[in-house]
């Protein structure tokens, strides 16, 4: 099992979440439920999938959740 809080990828993805919220705060109000929301949800999805993957019983399943995180990063 992995301790996600010690994984560099999780730590850096949490920094990405913080940066996303900082950046999107400056967006126009009409983007609140559009681009702003989408960017923040994608950013949050990355560390969420990493932490969820660490609860799985095999490295294969963990790798699948890392792939989901990568997909969110590309989104």
What pLDDT score does 48 carry?
Answer: 97
pLDDT digits (tens, 9 = 90+) for 62-71: 999 999 999 9
Residue in the structure block whose two tokens are 């989901």: 68
| pLDDT tens figures, 9-40 | 999 999 999 999 999 999 999 999 999 999 99
Q: What is the 3-state secondary structure (H, E, C) of the chain?
A: CCCHHHCHHHHHHHHHHHHHHHHHCCCCHHHCCCHHHHHHHHHHHHHHHHHHHCCCCCHHHHHHHHHHHHHHHHC
- Indicate the pLDDT class of residue 2, thresholds 50, 70 and 90: confident
- pLDDT tens-place string over residues 41-52: 999 999 999 999
Please name each of the domains of the chain with its CATH number. 4-74 (1.20.1440.60)
Structural contact between residues 20 and 39, judged by C-beta atoms closer than 8 angstroms: yes
């Amino acid at each position: 099992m992995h301790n996600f809080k010690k994984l560099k990828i999780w730590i850096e993805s949490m920094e990405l979440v913080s940066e996303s919220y900082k950046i999107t705060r400056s967006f126009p109000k009409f983007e609140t439920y559009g681009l702003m929301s989408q960017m923040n949800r994608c950013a949050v999805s990355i560390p969420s999938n990493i932490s969820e993957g660490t609860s799985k019983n095999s490295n294969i399943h963990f790798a699948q959740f890392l792939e989901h995180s990568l997909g969110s990063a590309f989104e």
